[in-house]
Protein backbone atom coordinates (compact mmCIF):
# COMPACT_ATOMS: atom_id res chain seq x y z
CA UNK A 1 0.00 0.00 0.00
CA UNK A 2 1.32 3.42 -0.96
CA UNK A 3 0.08 6.90 -0.03
CA UNK A 4 -1.05 9.52 -2.55
CA UNK A 5 1.41 12.36 -3.09
CA UNK A 6 -0.35 15.72 -2.93
CA UNK A 7 0.83 19.35 -2.90
CA UNK A 8 -0.13 22.73 -1.47
CA UNK A 9 1.51 26.16 -1.47
CA UNK A 10 2.96 27.75 1.62
CA UNK A 11 3.87 31.42 1.87
CA UNK A 12 7.01 32.86 3.48
CA UNK A 13 8.46 36.39 3.37
CA UNK A 14 10.46 35.15 0.36
CA UNK A 15 7.37 34.10 -1.59
CA UNK A 16 5.43 30.89 -2.20
CA UNK A 17 6.96 27.44 -1.75
CA UNK A 18 5.73 23.97 -2.63
CA UNK A 19 4.83 21.61 0.20
CA UNK A 20 4.17 17.89 -0.24
CA UNK A 21 1.90 15.77 1.93
CA UNK A 22 1.26 12.03 1.84
CA UNK A 23 -2.43 11.18 1.90
CA UNK A 24 -3.75 7.87 3.23
CA UNK A 25 -7.52 7.98 2.53
CA UNK A 26 -9.98 6.00 4.59
CA UNK A 27 -12.66 3.79 2.98
CA UNK A 28 -15.15 5.91 4.95
CA UNK A 29 -15.38 9.37 3.43
CA UNK A 30 -16.75 10.72 6.74
CA UNK A 31 -13.94 9.25 8.85
CA UNK A 32 -11.96 11.61 11.12
CA UNK A 33 -8.56 12.89 9.99
CA UNK A 34 -5.23 12.43 11.73
CA UNK A 35 -2.38 14.74 10.72
CA UNK A 36 1.05 13.26 11.51
CA UNK A 37 4.12 15.51 11.71
CA UNK A 38 7.69 14.20 11.75
CA UNK A 39 10.85 15.22 13.59
CA UNK A 40 13.47 17.83 12.73
CA UNK A 41 15.40 16.03 9.96
CA UNK A 42 12.82 13.46 9.01
CA UNK A 43 9.86 13.39 6.57
CA UNK A 44 6.27 12.22 6.26
CA UNK A 45 7.18 8.75 4.99
CA UNK A 46 8.36 7.88 8.52
CA UNK A 47 4.67 7.29 9.29
CA UNK A 48 3.99 4.77 6.50
CA UNK A 49 3.71 1.78 8.84
CA UNK A 50 1.33 3.38 11.31
CA UNK A 51 -0.65 5.21 8.62
CA UNK A 52 -1.26 1.97 6.70
CA UNK A 53 -2.94 0.56 9.83
CA UNK A 54 -4.78 3.65 11.01
CA UNK A 55 -6.28 4.47 7.61
CA UNK A 56 -8.61 1.51 8.07
CA UNK A 57 -10.70 3.81 10.28
CA UNK A 58 -9.49 7.36 9.57
CA UNK A 59 -7.79 9.46 6.94
CA UNK A 60 -4.10 9.98 7.74
CA UNK A 61 -2.18 12.94 6.28
CA UNK A 62 1.61 13.07 6.65
CA UNK A 63 3.30 16.27 5.43
CA UNK A 64 6.92 16.78 4.53
CA UNK A 65 7.67 19.98 6.45
CA UNK A 66 9.21 22.62 4.19
CA UNK A 67 12.89 21.91 3.58
CA UNK A 68 12.40 18.16 4.10
CA UNK A 69 11.54 15.18 1.95
CA UNK A 70 9.98 16.24 -1.33
CA UNK A 71 8.85 19.67 -0.12
CA UNK A 72 10.55 22.78 -1.46
CA UNK A 73 13.45 24.55 0.19
CA UNK A 74 13.34 28.15 1.42
CA UNK A 75 15.86 30.55 -0.18
CA UNK A 76 16.97 31.91 3.19
CA UNK A 77 17.87 29.53 6.02
CA UNK A 78 16.86 32.13 8.60
CA UNK A 79 13.21 31.59 7.55
CA UNK A 80 13.19 28.02 8.86
CA UNK A 81 11.48 27.98 12.24
CA UNK A 82 8.22 27.41 14.04
CA UNK A 83 6.42 30.55 12.77
CA UNK A 84 6.84 29.26 9.19
CA UNK A 85 6.10 25.64 10.08
CA UNK A 86 2.90 26.61 11.89
CA UNK A 87 1.78 28.86 9.04
CA UNK A 88 2.28 25.98 6.61
CA UNK A 89 0.38 23.63 8.93
CA UNK A 90 -2.51 26.09 9.00
CA UNK A 91 -2.47 26.27 5.20
CA UNK A 92 -2.61 22.47 5.06
CA UNK A 93 -5.55 22.31 7.49
CA UNK A 94 -7.37 24.89 5.34
CA UNK A 95 -6.55 22.93 2.17
CA UNK A 96 -8.01 19.79 3.76
CA UNK A 97 -11.15 21.71 4.74
CA UNK A 98 -10.99 20.48 8.33
CA UNK A 99 -12.94 21.95 11.21
CA UNK A 100 -11.47 19.40 13.61
CA UNK A 101 -8.65 16.88 13.50
CA UNK A 102 -6.40 14.70 15.60
CA UNK A 103 -2.65 15.43 15.63
CA UNK A 104 0.29 13.06 16.01
CA UNK A 105 3.70 14.70 16.26
CA UNK A 106 7.17 13.27 16.80
CA UNK A 107 9.69 15.63 18.42
CA UNK A 108 9.45 18.83 16.31
CA UNK A 109 6.04 17.70 15.08
CA UNK A 110 4.94 17.27 18.69
CA UNK A 111 6.03 20.79 19.56
CA UNK A 112 4.06 22.05 16.57
CA UNK A 113 1.02 20.16 17.83
CA UNK A 114 1.40 21.64 21.30
CA UNK A 115 1.65 25.18 19.93
CA UNK A 116 -1.40 24.73 17.72
CA UNK A 117 -3.47 22.98 20.39
CA UNK A 118 -2.78 25.83 22.83
CA UNK A 119 -4.35 28.45 20.55
CA UNK A 120 -7.89 29.80 20.93
CA UNK A 121 -10.36 28.13 18.55
CA UNK A 122 -7.84 25.37 17.79
CA UNK A 123 -9.15 22.65 15.45
CA UNK A 124 -7.10 20.00 17.27
CA UNK A 125 -9.44 17.81 19.31
CA UNK A 126 -6.91 15.16 20.42
CA UNK A 127 -3.13 15.39 20.57
CA UNK A 128 -0.46 12.68 20.52
CA UNK A 129 3.07 13.86 21.23
CA UNK A 130 5.93 11.45 20.67
CA UNK A 131 8.94 11.94 22.92
CA UNK A 132 8.86 15.68 23.42
CA UNK A 133 7.44 18.00 26.02
CA UNK A 134 7.40 21.55 27.36
CA UNK A 135 10.92 21.27 28.78
CA UNK A 136 13.85 20.29 26.55
CA UNK A 137 17.29 20.12 28.17
CA UNK A 138 20.21 21.88 26.56
CA UNK A 139 22.22 18.64 26.42
CA UNK A 140 19.66 16.99 24.13
CA UNK A 141 19.66 20.00 21.81
CA UNK A 142 23.46 19.90 21.68
CA UNK A 143 23.34 16.23 20.69
CA UNK A 144 20.94 16.98 17.84
CA UNK A 145 22.97 20.02 16.83
CA UNK A 146 26.06 17.84 16.51
CA UNK A 147 24.70 16.18 13.36
CA UNK A 148 21.88 18.28 11.91
CA UNK A 149 22.84 20.21 8.80
CA UNK A 150 26.12 18.41 8.17
CA UNK A 151 27.05 18.16 4.48
CA UNK A 152 27.35 14.38 4.31
CA UNK A 153 27.74 12.27 1.19
CA UNK A 154 27.31 8.52 0.77
CA UNK A 155 28.47 6.39 -2.15
CA UNK A 156 25.71 3.82 -1.59
CA UNK A 157 22.36 3.47 0.12
CA UNK A 158 23.97 0.88 2.38
CA UNK A 159 26.39 3.51 3.66
CA UNK A 160 23.51 5.90 4.26
CA UNK A 161 21.64 3.21 6.19
CA UNK A 162 24.66 2.60 8.41
CA UNK A 163 24.72 6.33 9.20
CA UNK A 164 20.98 6.44 9.99
CA UNK A 165 21.24 3.41 12.26
CA UNK A 166 23.90 5.24 14.26
CA UNK A 167 22.37 8.72 14.63
CA UNK A 168 18.82 7.38 15.07
CA UNK A 169 19.63 4.49 17.37
CA UNK A 170 17.04 5.90 19.78
CA UNK A 171 14.28 4.87 17.36
CA UNK A 172 14.50 1.40 18.90
CA UNK A 173 14.95 -2.15 17.64
CA UNK A 174 13.69 -1.72 14.09
CA UNK A 175 13.70 -4.51 11.55
CA UNK A 176 16.04 -4.54 8.58
CA UNK A 177 13.00 -3.80 6.43
CA UNK A 178 12.16 -0.76 8.56
CA UNK A 179 15.69 0.63 8.24
CA UNK A 180 15.71 -0.01 4.49
CA UNK A 181 12.38 1.82 4.12
CA UNK A 182 13.65 4.76 6.15
CA UNK A 183 16.84 4.87 4.11
CA UNK A 184 15.01 4.97 0.77
CA UNK A 185 12.99 7.97 1.88
CA UNK A 186 15.92 9.70 3.58
CA UNK A 187 18.08 9.74 0.44
CA UNK A 188 18.53 12.53 -2.08
CA UNK A 189 20.38 11.43 -5.20
CA UNK A 190 23.40 13.51 -6.24
CA UNK A 191 24.41 14.24 -9.84
CA UNK A 192 27.55 12.10 -9.47
CA UNK A 193 25.57 9.04 -8.47
CA UNK A 194 26.04 9.28 -4.71
CA UNK A 195 23.51 10.26 -2.07
CA UNK A 196 22.98 12.83 0.62
CA UNK A 197 20.21 13.41 3.14
CA UNK A 198 16.77 14.49 1.94
CA UNK A 199 16.62 17.82 3.73
CA UNK A 200 18.00 21.31 3.33
CA UNK A 201 21.14 21.66 5.52
CA UNK A 202 20.02 25.23 6.23
CA UNK A 203 17.36 23.94 8.65
CA UNK A 204 20.25 23.81 11.13
CA UNK A 205 20.29 27.61 11.35
CA UNK A 206 18.34 27.44 14.62
CA UNK A 207 21.28 25.59 16.17
CA UNK A 208 23.90 28.15 15.11
CA UNK A 209 23.93 30.23 18.29
CA UNK A 210 24.42 29.29 21.95
CA UNK A 211 21.84 26.70 23.00
CA UNK A 212 19.84 26.84 26.23
CA UNK A 213 17.12 24.77 27.85
CA UNK A 214 13.69 25.23 26.23
CA UNK A 215 10.83 26.04 28.62
CA UNK A 216 7.32 25.89 27.14
CA UNK A 217 5.32 25.16 30.29
CA UNK A 218 2.98 28.13 29.68
CA UNK A 219 2.10 26.58 26.30
CA UNK A 220 1.44 23.20 27.91
CA UNK A 221 -0.83 24.76 30.51
CA UNK A 222 -3.04 26.28 27.80
CA UNK A 223 -3.80 22.94 26.09
CA UNK A 224 -7.32 21.73 26.91
CA UNK A 225 -7.76 18.68 24.68
CA UNK A 226 -6.93 15.08 25.70
CA UNK A 227 -3.25 14.23 25.19
CA UNK A 228 -1.36 10.98 24.77
CA UNK A 229 2.30 11.37 25.74
CA UNK A 230 4.65 8.76 24.30
CA UNK A 231 8.13 8.48 25.78
CA UNK A 232 11.13 6.35 24.94
CA UNK A 233 12.29 4.90 28.25
CA UNK A 234 15.89 5.94 27.50
CA UNK A 235 15.08 9.37 26.06
CA UNK A 236 17.43 12.26 26.78
CA UNK A 237 14.96 14.79 25.35
CA UNK A 238 11.76 14.00 27.25
CA UNK A 239 13.08 13.42 30.74
CA UNK A 240 11.08 11.20 33.14
CA UNK A 241 10.52 14.08 35.55
CA UNK A 242 9.20 16.24 32.72
CA UNK A 243 6.76 13.54 31.62
CA UNK A 244 5.55 13.07 35.20
CA UNK A 245 4.99 16.81 35.61
CA UNK A 246 3.07 16.94 32.31
CA UNK A 247 0.62 14.35 33.64
CA UNK A 248 0.41 16.04 37.05
CA UNK A 249 -0.60 19.32 35.45
CA UNK A 250 -3.08 17.80 33.02
CA UNK A 251 -5.56 15.20 34.30
CA UNK A 252 -6.65 14.35 30.73
CA UNK A 253 -3.10 13.37 29.73
CA UNK A 254 -2.01 9.74 29.45
CA UNK A 255 1.64 8.66 29.54
CA UNK A 256 2.98 5.59 27.71
CA UNK A 257 6.63 4.54 27.89
CA UNK A 258 8.27 2.09 25.52
CA UNK A 259 11.31 0.11 26.60
CA UNK A 260 14.30 -0.21 24.31
CA UNK A 261 13.81 3.25 22.81
CA UNK A 262 15.40 6.63 23.34
CA UNK A 263 14.53 9.65 21.24
CA UNK A 264 12.16 8.82 19.71
CA UNK A 265 10.06 5.65 19.38
CA UNK A 266 9.69 5.07 15.63
CA UNK A 267 6.00 4.02 15.85
CA UNK A 268 6.72 1.22 13.38
CA UNK A 269 6.24 -1.94 15.43
CA UNK A 270 2.91 -3.55 16.20
CA UNK A 271 2.89 -2.72 19.92
CA UNK A 272 3.48 0.99 19.40
CA UNK A 273 1.00 1.20 16.53
CA UNK A 274 -1.58 -0.70 18.56
CA UNK A 275 -1.19 1.63 21.53
CA UNK A 276 -1.86 4.69 19.39
CA UNK A 277 -4.78 3.02 17.61
CA UNK A 278 -6.36 1.97 20.89
CA UNK A 279 -6.05 5.45 22.40
CA UNK A 280 -7.62 7.05 19.34
CA UNK A 281 -10.45 4.53 19.46
Q: Is the peptide bond before 142 cis (omega within 30 degrees of 0)?
A: no
Q: Is the pLDDT of residue 208 over 90?
A: no
Q: 7-60 pLDDT, tens per residue?
A: 999 999 999 999 999 999 999 989 999 999 999 999 999 999 999 999 999 999
Instruction: List domains and CATH numbers for the chain.
Output: 4-136+216-280 (3.40.50.1820)
Strands 195-197, 187-189: parallel, antiparallel or unpaired by DSSP? antiparallel
Of 153, 149, 139, give the one whose Cα is nearest residue 207: 149
Q: What is the chain's mean pLDDT, rounded?
A: 97
The Cα-based distances of 269 to 171, 178, 263, 266 in angstroms read 11, 9, 15, 8
Q: 215-247 pLDDT, tens per residue?
A: 999 999 999 999 999 999 999 999 999 999 999
What pLDDT, on a 0 to 100 scale, did the predictor assign at position 206? Answer: 84
pTM over 0.85: yes
Q: 111-158 pLDDT, tens per residue?
A: 999 999 999 999 999 999 999 999 999 999 999 999 998 889 999 999
What pLDDT, on a 0 to 100 scale, did the predictor assign at position 274? Answer: 98
Amino acid sequence: MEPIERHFLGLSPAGFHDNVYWDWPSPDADAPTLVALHGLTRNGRDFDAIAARLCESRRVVCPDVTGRGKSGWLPNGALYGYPQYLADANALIARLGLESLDWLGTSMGGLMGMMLAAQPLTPIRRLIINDVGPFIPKAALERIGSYVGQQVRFDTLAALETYLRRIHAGFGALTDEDWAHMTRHSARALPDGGYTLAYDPAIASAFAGPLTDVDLWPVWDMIACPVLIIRGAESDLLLPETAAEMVRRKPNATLLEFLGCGHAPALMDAAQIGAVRDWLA
